[in-house]
């Protein structure tokens, strides 16, 4: 078959700190909870496939499942036959719950809803770059614009200016956090699809920088690295998940979005991050939303600045989406030409620090209970899992695991 290639670039970014006011939002599609569950189940499926890969087993993991599932859903607009079936099955679509047309409408509703949110700075979208030698079907372009707000842009992939154009677009959409989306493109690339997500939120209860101290992070039983550890002793949302023998902390962004941190309880012998990541599921995240309770707790959270980059081709093949990378690919809904997917790439960055609203200083004396509880102290000084979710519908925007905060890339 001819060397006709589609590049799929999935790029995501999160910066995490601070707070603003949020406004009530109108209800969206009644079936949207089903789409959220589909996306969140996909998030865990993708995560568990990622950590099975030899290159990522002992690495930090951070990605946006929403960005990936949205890109695959967009691809399904132009897929046919077994390729389409694999894509839909891979992202967890169940035709008895909602049709593919309803799925695209719900993604559109989700994007519209996110676009109206004011509690944090968030931007989700797509872009499509099309070779000047390639003519996609008008119906595909119409659907991409209607459902995913993605306008096609005609370019020449054989010139460096196109790479510069794509990188400038990604840099603008991620506020400079991802400035090199792609190094080069093969001259015979026909189409380049990217999805992006940018998130920046301020803590509802910011950390006091004067309480940040140099500390130690236990990567494993033999390895430690230095880390700047932020500290609070406040009335905070915490939960002990007995099913997972793990401690859970919920840090809010002004009743809008939340970050959940989960760390295995080291007082349970042999309890490790691998046990947690094997057992955890979407249902646990849904449970935490209502299970967390405010109580006076010491928390220690490391400052983080992580960058991750993944080639998802083998991961998606392992999830049953193999044909789109081979000469069996069926994208007759995109073009009459025979085309296949060459690469699926994903980049994400995460920054966590103390920043928040203006704070005043006051001297206080705290009295703490002497009786022990596993929730008296939550110290994230060893590998832990991290989720950024939408309080409104439990949609998981970002998902990851911190194994070594000193490892930046």
In a domain, 192, yes or no: yes
Give the HSE-up count for residue 408: Cα atoms under 13 Å, Cβ half-sphere.
1
Coil, strand or helix: which one is 325? Answer: helix
5-14, 60-69, 260-269, range with the lowest pLDDT: 5-14
Residue 216 pLDDT greater than 90, yes or no: yes
Coil, strand or helix: which one is 16? Answer: strand
Indicate if 136 and 186 belong to the same structural domain: yes
The mean pLDDT of 14-22, rounded to a whole number, is: 33
What angle, 0 to 180 degrees and rounded to 10, lies between the N-to-C axes of helices 32-52 and 282-291?
A: 120
Task: Give me the percent of the chain exceeding a pLDDT of 70.
Answer: 87
Where in the sequence is the domain holding 146, given as residue range(s)? 5-202+305-352
Domain count across the chain = 2
pLDDT digit string (tens) for 43-68? Answer: 999 999 988 888 777 888 988 898 88
pLDDT digit string (tens) for 191-201? Answer: 888 888 888 88
**pLDDT number for residue 408:** 65
Indicate if 85 and 157 belong to the same structural domain: yes
pLDDT digit string (tens) for 338-396? Answer: 888 888 888 888 888 876 322 221 211 222 233 335 567 889 999 999 999 998 889 99
pLDDT-based confidence at 6, cuts 50/70/90?
A: low
Indicate if 23 and 85 belong to the same structural domain: yes
The mean pLDDT of 238-248, rounded to a whole number, is: 93
Q: Decide which of 175 and 91 is more confident.
A: 91
pLDDT-based confidence at 12, cuts 50/70/90?
A: very low
Helices (H), 97-227: 100-116, 138-148, 160-173
**pLDDT number for residue 256:** 82
In a domain, 48, yes or no: yes
In a domain, 409, yes or no: no
What angle, 0 to 180 degrees and rounded to 10, lies between the N-to-C axes of helices 81-91 and 65-78?
A: 160
Q: What is the CATH number of the domain that holds 238?
A: 2.30.39.10
**pLDDT number for residue 19:** 32
């Amino acid at each position: 078959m001819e060397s006709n290639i589609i590049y799929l670039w999935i790029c995501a970014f999160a910066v995490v700190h601070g707070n603003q006011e949020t406004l009530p939002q109108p209800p969206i599609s009644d079936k949207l909870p089903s789409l959220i569950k589909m996306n969140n189940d996909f998030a865990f499926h993708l995560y568990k496939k990622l950590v099975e890969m030899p290159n990522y087993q002992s690495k930090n993991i951070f990605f946006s499942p929403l960005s990936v599932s949205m890109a695959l859903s967009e691809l399904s607009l132009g897929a046919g036959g077994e390729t389409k079936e694999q894509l839909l099955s891979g992202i967890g679509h169940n035709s008895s719950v909602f049709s593919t047309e309803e799925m695209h409408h719900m993604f559109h509703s989700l994007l519209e809803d996110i676009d109206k949110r004011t509690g944090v700075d968030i931007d989700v979208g797509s872009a499509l770059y099309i070779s000047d030698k390639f003519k996609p079907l008008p119906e595909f372009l119409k659907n991409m614009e209607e459902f995913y707000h993605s306008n096609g842009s005609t370019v020449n992939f054989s010139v460096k200016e196109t790479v510069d154009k794509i990188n400038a677009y990604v840099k603008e959409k991620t506020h400079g956090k991802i400035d090199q989306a792609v190094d080069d493109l093969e001259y015979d690339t026909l189409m380049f699809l990217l999805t992006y997500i940018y998130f920046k939120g301020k803590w509802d209860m910011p950390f006091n920088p004067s309480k940040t101290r140099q500390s130690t992070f236990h990567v494993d039983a033999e390895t430690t690295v230095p880390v700047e550890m932020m500290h609070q002793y406040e009335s905070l949302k915490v939960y002990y998940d007995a099913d997972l023998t793990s401690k859970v902390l919920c840090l809010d962004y002004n009743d809008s979005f939340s970050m959940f941190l989960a760390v295995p309880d080291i007082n349970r012998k042999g309890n490790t991050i691998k046990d947690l990541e094997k057992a955890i599921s979407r249902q646990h995240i849904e449970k935490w939303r209502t299970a967390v309770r405010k109580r006076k707790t010491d928390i220690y959270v490391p400052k983080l600045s992580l960058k991750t980059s993944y080639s998802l081709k083998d991961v998606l093949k392992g999830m049953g989406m193999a044909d789109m990378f081979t000469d069996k690919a069926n994208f007759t809904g995109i073009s009459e030409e025979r085309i296949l997917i060459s690469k699926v790439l994903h980049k994400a960055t995460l920054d966590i620090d103390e920043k928040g609203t203006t704070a005043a200083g006051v001297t206080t004396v705290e009295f703490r209970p002497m009786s022990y509880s596993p929730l008296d102290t939550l110290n994230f000084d060893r590998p832990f899992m991290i989720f950024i979710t939408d309080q409104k519908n439990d949609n998981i925007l970002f998902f990851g695991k911190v194994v070594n905060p000193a490892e930046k890339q």
